């Protein structure tokens, strides 16, 4: 089935409940809109929850229309790059390690969980895709539940860390999921959330220029799998609405693997543009800018650690 043909539903803002979306752009036939009250950018018409679940179940990790193409094969091929990212992740997680009990919601095939297990963490996962979660269980011998977090029926107050990496922007009901995470975290445990900073980001403006598009032409990624397009403020507001308070902010390098695997072409456009592209994509300007941006919190990945407020949500 094509993503554009999925059954649709119109929705109000998931953050403030306001229902007066302002259309910013039609992307692949889906309306990317902004809430005039709280500023959340979201799909004001989106695939129904049931239809999207079927897409993740069947083809998300192996067909490339919206999801990932050849997920396992890519991991095997670029294992060195992924493991470098995993080591950086472990280093950052250490300060919140506690007893090392960790859950990843949306763990896909379990590659990161496998790495964390090797670092002494006691790991579990939840994953909606039967194919991916089956691989995690059968090949990697991980403890992974197939389905939603709610359907896992986990006992309360048992995890030091719950991770959601590139997951929150996919959830139809982020509020109830955040509250369920609050319930299963130990007192003092942390939620780690990562999602792309897709819109109104400096890099988007720069790449728009380098790629010869006019500025203001947004290019939100992964529509309609992504239901929200967060910036720092709206992401933190979402966490607060789910009963959390942010305790640590990090800036990520989103798309690092994709850029190494499929670097943008440089032999295109005017001679001046080619020169810019050569400098930016091949001769290190992009890397220098990314490093500088991350130091001041402007990297293109939003990473937040948050603690559940007692009685919050
Ligand atoms: Zn709103």
16-49 pLDDT, tens digit each: 999 999 999 899 899 999 999 999 999 999 999 9
CA of 45 to the centre of ligand 1 (A): 15
Residue 273 has pLDDT above 70, yes or no: yes
pLDDT of the residue at 114: 97
pLDDT of the residue at 75: 86
CA of 24 to the centre of ligand 1 (A): 15
pLDDT of the residue at 200: 65
CA of 42 to the centre of ligand 1 (A): 9
CA of 171 to the centre of ligand 1 (A): 16
pLDDT of the residue at 76: 87
Domains of the chain by start residue, with CATH: 49-308 (3.40.50.150)
pLDDT of the residue at 211: 64
Are 182 and 242 contacting, i.e. CB atoms less than 8 angstroms apart?
A: yes
- The average confidence (pLDDT) of the chain is 88
CA of 14 to the centre of ligand 1 (A): 7
Percent of the chain at pLDDT > 90 equals 57
CA of 152 to the centre of ligand 1 (A): 30
pTM for the structure as a whole: 0.88
CA of 242 to the centre of ligand 1 (A): 14
CA of 43 to the centre of ligand 1 (A): 12
The more confident residue out of 216 and 310 is 310
pLDDT of the residue at 77: 87
CA of 33 to the centre of ligand 1 (A): 10
The more confident residue out of 96 and 267 is 96
In tens, the pLDDT along 192-247 reads 999 988 776 777 777 666 666 655 555 677 889 999 999 999 999 999 999 999 99
pLDDT of the residue at 313: 44
Helices 79-93, 111-118: crossing angle, 10 deg rounding: 60
In tens, the pLDDT along 124-147 reads 999 998 989 999 999 999 999 999
Mean pLDDT throughout 251-276? 80
């Amino acid at each position: 089935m094509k993503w554009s043909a999925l059954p649709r539903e119109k929705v109000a803002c998931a953050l403030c409940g306001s229902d007066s979306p302002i259309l910013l752009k039609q992307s692949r036939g889906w309306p990317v809109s902004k809430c005039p009250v709280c500023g959340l950018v979201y799909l004001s018409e989106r695939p129904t929850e049931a239809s999207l679940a079927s897409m993740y179940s069947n083809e998300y990790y192996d067909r490339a229309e919206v999801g990932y193409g050849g997920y396992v094969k890519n991991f095997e091929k670029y294992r060195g790059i992924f493991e470098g990212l995993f080591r950086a992740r472990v280093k950052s997680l250490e300060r919140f390690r506690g007893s090392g009990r960790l859950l990843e919601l949306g763990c896909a095939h379990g590659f990161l969980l496998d790495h964390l297990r090797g670092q002494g963490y006691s790991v579990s996962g939840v994953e909606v895709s039967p194919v991916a979660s089956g691989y995690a269980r059968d090949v990697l011998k991980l403890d992974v539940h197939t389905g939603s977090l709610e359907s896992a029926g986990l006992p309360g107050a048992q995890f030091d860390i719950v991770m959601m990496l590139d997951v929150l922007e996919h959830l139809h009901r982020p509020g109830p999921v955040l509250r369920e995470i609050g319930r299963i975290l130990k007192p003092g445990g942390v939620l780690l959330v990562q999602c792309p900073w897709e819109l109104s980001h400096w890099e988007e403006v720069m790449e728009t220029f380098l790629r010869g598009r006019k500025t203001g032409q947004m290019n939100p990624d992964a529509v309609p799998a992504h239901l929200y397009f967060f910036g720092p403020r709206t992401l933190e507001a979402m966490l607060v609405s789910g009963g959390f308070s942010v305790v640590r902010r990090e800036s990520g390098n989103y798309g690092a693997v994709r850029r190494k695997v499929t670097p943008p072409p440089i032999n295109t456009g005017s001679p001046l543009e080619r020169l810019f592209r050569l400098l930016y994509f091949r001769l290190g300007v992009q890397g220098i800018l990314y490093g500088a941006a991350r130091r001041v919190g402007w990297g293109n990945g939003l990473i937040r650690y948050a603690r559940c407020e007692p009685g919050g949500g």
